[in-house]
């Protein structure tokens, strides 16, 4: 699937006026009553069922097509990509949306040759389709490992909140929320805001205790080393596989001069430390799933 996607991405694009099944269309899904609008581009072949496909095939640029969000796409992940909703949300809302076709394009797939390999990974890094498949497999495994780790962190967080019982000074916090903003809220609005943020407040306290009890603090040198590793990984994506340390130092220094970036990197590094801590100390049950099951569990 990824090879097909790459061939289409680097293939020749031809603009058209009328939609056929192998084309892609650009426009916006709109339901004014629900104040819903999502600008997007998708392949007609990704639609689910004959009725949805038939609604688009034969339509021309400027035409408006009406479909329902429920059962619109074949793949669960496509709902998030093209509608901005999970498959469950699309099913539950079941909005009737109009789509005005702004553009129709046909992509002629690129040949799987050395020119394409060099565009993807730099001159001579990949020299055959077999090597390309191995590289894509390796990248896919790394990507899914990151997503699996994030899901684990989410699951552990939820479990900690559910199973760590302690009282918050609820009345005090509601009054504080009511009066601490630029504009004073009504007590009812403060109660709603408290209910929305209660889980987050609880986890901040739980996380703080775990960090303090297990000495998981972060030093500036660790942030700097983490920043350099991230820079190195990003450079490798563009074919720069062996950057000099002076170059990494210079880029890292520029990044770390920005306090917002330091905060962002600190949070990422602490999440990594917490994840490593949980992997070592929590009783985990490993679950093997298919690709489709993985997408449904992680993306929905």
Is the pLDDT at 239 greater than 70? The verdict is no
| 1 assigned to some structural domain | no
Both 228 and 291 in a single domain? yes
* CA gap 111, 50 in Å, rounded: 31
Determine the pLDDT at residue 300.
65
Q: pLDDT per residue over 259-285, tens digit each?
A: 999 999 999 999 999 999 999 999 998
2 lies in some domain: no
Instruction: Give the least confident one: 94-108, 171-185, 234-248.
Output: 234-248
Token pair, residue 268, equals: 């990422």
Residue 181 reports pLDDT greater than 90: no
Q: How far is CA 9 from the centre of its chain?
A: 20
Q: Is a pLDDT exceeding 90 seen at residue 167?
A: yes
Contact between 14 and 104 under an 8 Å Cβ cutoff? The reply is no
Tell whether 25 is covered by a domain: yes
Residue 116 shares a structural domain with residue 104: no
Pairwise CA distance, residues 262 & 220, whole Å: 9
With respect to residue 146, please indicate whether it lies within any of the assigned structural domains.
yes
Contacts 24+ apart (CB under 8 A), 30-33: 30/97, 30/98, 30/99, 30/100, 31/95, 31/96, 31/97, 31/98
pLDDT band at 236 (very low <50, low <70, confident <90, very high): confident
At 219, list the tokens.
């030093």
Residues 288 and 237 placed together within one structural domain of the fold: yes
Is the overall model pTM greater than 0.75, yes or no?
Answer: no
**pLDDT higher than 80, residue 241:** no
What's residue 234's pLDDT?
Answer: 83
Domain-located, residue 134: yes
Residues 243 and 208 in one domain: no
Both 194 and 255 in one domain: the answer is: no
Same domain, 240 and 207: no
Final residue of a structural domain among 108, 141, 175: 108
CATH code where residue 65 lies:
3.10.50
Quickly state the pLDDT bin for 240 (edges 50, 70, 90).
Answer: confident
Residue 87 neighbours by CB under 8 Å, 6+ apart: 73, 76, 79, 296, 300
Residue 93 CB neighbours (<10 A): 16
4 in a structural domain:
no
Instruction: Report pLDDT for 225.
Output: 92
Domain with 287, as residue range(s), is 218-300
Q: Over the stretch 35-66, which tens digit does the pLDDT of each residue have?
A: 999 999 999 999 999 999 999 999 999 999 99
CA–CA gap between residue 251 and residue 230 (Å, rounded):
11
Q: What is the mean pLDDT of residues 149-174?
A: 93
294: pLDDT strictly greater than 90: no
Say yes or no: 34 and 92 in one domain.
yes
Q: Where is the domain boundary, 198, 213, 228?
A: 213
pLDDT of 280: 94
Determine, yes or no, domain membership for 17. Answer: yes
* 297 and 247 housed in the same domain: yes
| Residue 78: predicted pLDDT | 92
Residues 22 and 102 in one domain: yes
Within a domain: residue 256?
A: yes
Q: How many domains, the chain?
A: 4
| Domain identity same for 188 and 271 | no
Please check whether residues 24 and 84 belong to one and the same domain.
yes
Any idea which of 93-102, 195-204, 234-243 has the lowest mean pLDDT?
Answer: 234-243
Same domain assignment for residues 124 and 60: no
Give me the pLDDT at residue 121, please.
84
Q: Within 10 Å of residue 141's Cβ, how many Cβ atoms?
A: 10
């Amino acid at each position: 699937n990824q090879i097909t996607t790459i061939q289409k991405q680097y293939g020749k694009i031809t603009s058209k006026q009328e939609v056929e099944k192998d084309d892609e269309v650009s426009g916006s899904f709109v339901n004014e009553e629900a104040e819903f609008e999502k600008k997007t581009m998708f392949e007609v072949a990704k639609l689910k069922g004959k009725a949805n496909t038939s609604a688009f095939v034969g339509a021309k640029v400027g035409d408006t097509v009406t479909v329902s969000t429920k059962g619109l796409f074949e793949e669960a992940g496509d709902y998030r990509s093209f509608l901005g909703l999970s498959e469950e949300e699309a099913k539950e809302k079941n909005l009737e949306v109009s789509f005005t076709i702004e553009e129709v394009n046909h992509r002629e797939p690129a040949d799987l040759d050395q020119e394409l390999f060099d565009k993807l990974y730099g001159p001579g890094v990949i020299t055959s389709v077999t090597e390309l498949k191995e590289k894509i497999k390796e990248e896919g495994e790394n990507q899914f490992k990151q997503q699996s780790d994030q899901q684990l962190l989410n699951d552990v967080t939820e479990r900690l909140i559910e199973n760590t019982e302690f009282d918050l000074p609820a009345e005090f916090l509601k009054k504080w929320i009511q009066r601490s903003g630029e504009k004073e809220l009504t007590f009812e609005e403060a109660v709603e805001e408290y209910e929305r943020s209660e889980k987050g407040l609880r986890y901040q306290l739980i996380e703080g205790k775990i960090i303090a009890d297990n000495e998981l603090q972060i030093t500036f040198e660790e942030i700097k080393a983490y920043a350099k590793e991230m820079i190195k990984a990003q450079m490798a994506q563009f074919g720069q596989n062996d950057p000099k340390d002076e170059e990494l130092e210079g880029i890292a220094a520029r990044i770390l001069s920005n306090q917002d970036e330091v905060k962002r990197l600190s949070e990422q590094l602490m999440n990594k430390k917490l994840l490593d801590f949980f992997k070592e100390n929590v009783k985990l049950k490993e679950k093997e799933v298919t690709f489709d099951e993985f997408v449904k569990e992680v993306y929905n």
